[in-house]
Amino acid sequence: MLQVDIGSLKLNSPFIMASGILGVSGSTLAKAHHAGAGAVVSKSLGPETREGYMNPSVIELFPDTFLNAVGLANPGIDEFAGEVAFAKKEGATVILSVFGGELGEYGEMAAKAEEMGADAVELNISCPHAHVSCIGADATLTDEVIRIVKAKTSLPVIAKLNPNVTDIVEIARTAEKAGADAVTAINTVRGMAIDIDAKCPVLANKSGGLSGKLLKPIAVKVVYDLYEALQIPIIGCGGIFDWRDAAEFFLAGAIAVEVGSALWRGFDLFGELANGMKKYLKNNNFSQLSEITGLAHRGATQL
Amino acid sequence: MIRKPKMVKIEKKVEETRAITSLYFHYSPWGFEKNDITPSVPFTPGQFFMVWVPQVDEIPISVSFHEPPNYWGITIKNVGEASGAICNLNVGEKLGIRGPLGKGFTLDIGQSIFLGGGVGLAPLRPAYFAYANSSLQPIVVNCAPCGEDLLYHAELEELAKNNVIIYDYATEDGSCGCQGLGTDLFRQVLDATLPEKTVEFAACCGPERMIVKTLEIVERYGITNFQASLERMMRCGMGLCGLCVLDPTGLRVCSDGPVFNGETLHSCTDFGQKVREFSGFKRDL
């Protein structure tokens, strides 16, 4: 009922663990898989060890809404091979999130991801508090990086889109033309919190990316717009805390969704999402999730 | 509770040892402010705060004192830039607090024994204080490299004098109390106690190798309820970033812990062996 295909990637569940959340170890990737995640996205990996930004790097602004500037901290892709192997051995479908300094490095990272047994790559061209966001903010660079990566790997390539742009639809169309197999919409929205007593930004990096509940209406709108412009699958992402949130994304046009911030509560969420969606489909007389993809574009259903 | 730092004013500072300092302040997390009453924030001994010094860093520090509804103490050892900056703060100065975070000790109503190594005694302090109004006298075993490093020593002697606790202590150089390791003294205390009493609950915090050794000892003595507080690098402190995860269980020290029982510790191959650096790079402990 909930099976989805993202290009050649076949998932048993449309609920994916988003990048940056808990994906620093194979054990958590495996844990999300065992909890029912259809796929798991690793923390973004680059060519070498990166410390990232100092703390505070993650804070909560409102209940279930977070601001973070981790700064692409990662042990380096080579160091991560063992973690991928562990997650694969446990049966997880692993999407490796990758980034590079130069565009060419994205290709090298994707080739390494394929070598270490990943099932797909998600290109982080959108982290709002790091240099890579400029790629996802520029149609020419987006086109170039996707072509480079496609030439280096046969894995499905997913572009994670940057919402901090004037026209995200234009960037997404470019990604599609360049050969992206799917897009993830959206990465976090740029933001800042200032402590009025300390009289300075709270995050060590000053600015960061907003995630969690408050992101949902922004993300749903992006997915809705992309659905009208793209042929390739859209993976929705932003503020999904229960199956109702997920249903909004499916109705807007997403064929799968990534969940991140909500996982602070624990991994049981994956089971709850699947059960809730199955009930919703049944109650509305649908037999497959794909039947509701983009349904919101047809106007209100007769009740 | 919203887990955003809140600036609080330091009201009391105690220089506990050469390197260890306690700071006391009033604090209610965001989302807990009321005009008429001060609601008591739920707290379990063993929980921690993320402590922020603006322009410097934010690090996890155990809560070492709590007087409901909202008076708190933290105890920090000066081991680096961030902890040094916190130790150097004075009464009237401010620091940012986020929490309390994590899962603390599940205290047993029976006879308990606590082993603290160095600043590791800090998270145990609210736990043995919790027994103060009961007829049970918890046994507190304190250890440090030398007498000048024994945390809360005068306070513990006073508590022992008033029969609130039973207090034993050791120093590696023998300058105060027994000469030797805390774990050796812990074993001796168990030898002396167990013929007469059943010890229901043992708790430990300190260097991780000491915790490993303590777990071996309690198992040898048949004490099944063992809990220990672990330390790992943290960013979010609320189960989101995954930096503090213990392999291969995927348990998060910040939110599934920092207190874990013996059985859980056995299931973590990282326990006593591996830690992650701030980048996520895994290295030997």
* pLDDT string in tens for chain B (285-residue length): 999 999 999 999 999 999 999 999 999 999 887 766 767 889 999 999 999 999 999 999 999 999 999 999 999 999 999 999 999 999 999 999 999 999 999 998 899 999 999 999 999 999 999 998 888 899 999 999 999 999 999 999 999 999 999 999 999 999 999 899 999 999 999 999 998 889 999 999 999 999 999 999 999 999 999 999 999 999 999 999 999 999 999 999 999 999 999 999 999 999 999 999 999 999 999
Residues of chain A under the 50 pLDDT cut: none
Instruction: Say yes or no: B16 and B29 in one domain.
Output: yes
Same domain membership, residue B123 and residue B62: no
On average, the pLDDT of chain A sits at 95
Residue B167 lies in a domain: yes
Nearest CA in chain B to A42: B242
Phi, psi of A97 (to 5 degrees): -85, 130
Q: Tell me, yes or no, whether B179 and B97 share the same domain.
A: no
A-B contacts (CB, under 8 Å): 137
Q: Which residues contact B194 (CB under 8 A, 6 or more apart)?
A: B221
Beta-carbon separation of A24 and B236 below 8 A: no
Query: Is residue B1 in some structural domain?
Result: no
Cα separation, A129 vs A67, in Å, equals 11
CB-based contact B102:B254 (threshold 8 Å): yes
What span, in angstroms and rounded, lies between the C-alpha atoms of B213 and B217?
Answer: 6
Q: For chain B, state the CA radius of gyration.
A: 18
- Could you give the 3-state DSSP secondary structure of residue B197? coil
Neighbours of B161 (CB within 10 A): 10
Q: Rounded to whole angstroms, how far apart are CA atoms B250 and B276?
A: 13
Q: For the CA atoms of A173, A175, A181, A183, what is the dihedral angle to 10 degrees? A: -80
Task: Write down the domain spans for chain A.
Answer: 4-298
Nearest CA in chain A to B3: A60
Domain that holds residue B155: 105-227
CA distance A218 to chain B (A): 21
- Residues B32 and B90 grouped into a single domain: yes
Domain count, chain B: 3
Best mutation target among B2, B240, B277 (most A Cβ atoms within 10 Å) is B240
Kindly state whether residues B171 and B115 are assigned to the same domain.
Answer: yes
Which is catalytic among the residues A127, A134, A200, A237?
A127
Q: Are B37 and B118 in contact (CB under 8 A)?
A: no
The verdict on B212 touching A (C-beta cutoff 8 Å) is no
Q: Which residues pair with B97 in a beta bridge?
A: B6, B51
Put simply, whether B240 touches A (Cβ < 8 Å) is yes
Q: B121 and B187 share a domain?
A: yes
The last residue of a domain, from among B54, B70, B101: B101
Q: What phi, psi does B223 have (nearest 5°)?
A: -90, 115
**Least CA distance to A49: which residue of chain B?**
B279
In the residue annotation, A127 being an active-site residue is answered as yes
Give the domain-ending residue among B101, B116, B132: B101
In a shared domain, residues B67 and B156: no
Would an 8 Å CB–CB cutoff place A53 in contact with chain B? Answer: no
DSSP state of B39: P
**What type of residue is A201?**
P
> Are the C-beta atoms of residues B235 and A55 closer than 8 Å to each other?
yes
**Which residues are registered as beta bridge partners of B16?**
none
Rounded CA gap, B9 and B95, in Å? 7
- The domain that holds B204 is classified in CATH as 3.40.50.80
The CATH number of A4-298, from 3.20.20.70, 3.30.390.30, 2.60.40.10, 3.40.50.920, is 3.20.20.70
ipTM of the prediction: 0.92
CATH number at residue B50: 2.40.30.10
On whether both B222 and B111 belong to a single domain, the answer is yes
Show which of B66, B83, B101 is a domain's final residue.
B101
Residue-level pLDDT at B108 = 83
Q: Are residues B31 and B95 in the same domain?
A: yes
Alpha-carbon gap, residue B50 to A274, rounded angstroms = 34
Q: Which pLDDT does position B35 carry in this prediction?
A: 63
Note whether B232 contacts A: Cβ–Cβ < 8 A. no
B48 shares a domain with B18: yes
Residue B210 token pair: 């000491």
